[in-house]
């Protein structure tokens, strides 16, 4: 479902590339936690996967289709198929808009049929945010609530794949447990970037370890996270 072969991404002419020949294959239905220390290339790999920046070499396919960063059609298709929750997602909600409008935005952009208001209520309920508060602006919510509202926006159009960068890093134990149960119960394939090995293990899927722009380990969490 995700196939990355020989991907190189270089920001500077000299010095180490951010991605240095990344190979990664993730079959449909397997959740993946992408781990690695700061600077390993995790965010760069996500941006390349999402078509937000080009690879200098190599190939990327997501859900069977090549990712073509220059192609509006390819990007539109990716937006429909993939939900994205960026790091610090809560602050990406437009402060001027009622949160319900932000959550509905992907439905409008993708011109999907159906009643947007009903779907917004449904998805806010799913992330444990009072749907009756959809007419309030982000400032009326706590940081954790804003993060969940951003998650609702990423899920509103029922993507096949959800990509999230450090989604749970700011959450307390209760919220994390709750979100983890929610995420794993969605039936949506997950690709989560995290520093947190306990979280990677709790997902109970695969773990890929990125170091200096390469995948150095990849396999079931129980194997990869076993103490050396």
- Please tell me whether residue 11 binds ligand ADP under the rule CB under 6 A: yes
**Which of 22, 33, 36, 151 contacts ligand ADP by CB under 6 A?**
36
* Nearest-angstrom CA–CA distance, 49 and 209: 16
- Please tell me whether residue 38 binds ligand ADP under the rule CB under 6 A: yes
By C-beta, is 46 or 123 nearer to ligand ADP?
Answer: 46
By C-beta, is 18 or 192 nearer to ligand ADP?
Answer: 18
* Shortest reach from residue 29's CB to ligand ADP, in Å: 25
Looking at the chain, list the stretches that DSSP marks H as alpha helix, in order from N- to C-terminal side: 42-49, 72-81, 99-109, 116-126, 143-155, 173-184, 197-203, 221-224
Task: State the number of binding residues for ligand ADP (CB under 6 A).
Answer: 11
* Shortest reach from residue 41's CB to ligand ADP, in Å: 4
Token pair for residue 22?
A: 């990344």
Give the per-residue contact string, 61-100, with ligand ADP (x = CB under 6 A; - = no).
--------------------------x-------------
By C-beta, is 20 or 105 nearer to ligand ADP?
Answer: 20
* Nearest-angstrom CA–CA distance, 19 and 27: 21
Contacts for 52 with CB less than 8 Å, ≥ 6 apart: 69
**Which of 42, 148, 157, 176 contacts ligand ADP by CB under 6 A?**
42
Q: Specify the stretch interacting with ligand ADP by CB under 6 A; choose among 42-50, 98-106, 141-149, 199-207.
A: 42-50
**Which of 18, 89, 190, 221 contacts ligand ADP by CB under 6 A?**
18
* Nearest-angstrom CA–CA distance, 40 and 43: 9
- Please tell me whether residue 39 binds ligand ADP under the rule CB under 6 A: yes
- Please tell me whether residue 50 binds ligand ADP under the rule CB under 6 A: no
Residue 168 in contact with residue 87, Cβ under 8 Å?
Answer: no
- Please tell me whether residue 43 binds ligand ADP under the rule CB under 6 A: yes
Residues in the chain: 228
Quick one: DSSP state of residue 89? G
Closest CA to 22 of 52, 62, 49: 49
Token pair for residue 93?
A: 């909600």
Token pair for residue 220?
A: 């079931």
* Nearest-angstrom CA–CA distance, 112 and 17: 40
Helix-helix angle 173-184:143-155, to 10 degrees: 10
By C-beta, is 102 or 194 nearer to ligand ADP?
Answer: 194
Q: Specify the stretch interacting with ligand ADP by CB under 6 A; choose among 24-32, 33-41, 66-74, 107-115.
A: 33-41
Residues that bind ligand ADP (CB under 6 A): 11, 18, 36, 38-44, 87
């Amino acid at each position: 479902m995700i196939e990355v072969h020989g991907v190189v991404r270089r920001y500077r002419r000299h010095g180490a590339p951010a991605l240095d020949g990344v190979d990664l294959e993730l079959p449909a239905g397997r959740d993946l936690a992408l781990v690695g220390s700061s600077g390993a290339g995790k965010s760069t790999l996500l941006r390349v996967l999402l078509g937000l920046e080009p690879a200098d070499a190599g190939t990327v396919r997501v859900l069977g289709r090549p990712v073509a960063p220059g192609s509006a059609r390819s990007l539109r298709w990716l937006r429909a198929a993939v939900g994205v929750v960026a790091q610090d997602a809560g602050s990406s909600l437009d402060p001027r808009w009622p949160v319900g409008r932000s959550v509905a935005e992907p439905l409008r952009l993708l011109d999907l049929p159906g009643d947007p208001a009903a779907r917004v209520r449904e998805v806010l309920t799913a992330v444990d945010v009072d749907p009756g508060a959809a007419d309030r602006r982000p400032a009326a919510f706590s940081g954790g609530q804003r993060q969940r509202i951003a998650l609702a926006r990423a899920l509103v159009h029922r993507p096949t794949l959800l990509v999230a960068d450090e989604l749970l890093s700011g959450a307390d134990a209760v919220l994390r447990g709750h979100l983890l149960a929610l995420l794993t119960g969605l039936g949506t394939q997950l690709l989560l970037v995290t520093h947190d090995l306990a979280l990677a293990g709790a997902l109970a899927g695969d773990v890929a370890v990125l170091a200096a722009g390469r995948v150095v380990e990849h396999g079931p969490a129980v194997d990869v996270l076993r103490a050396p």
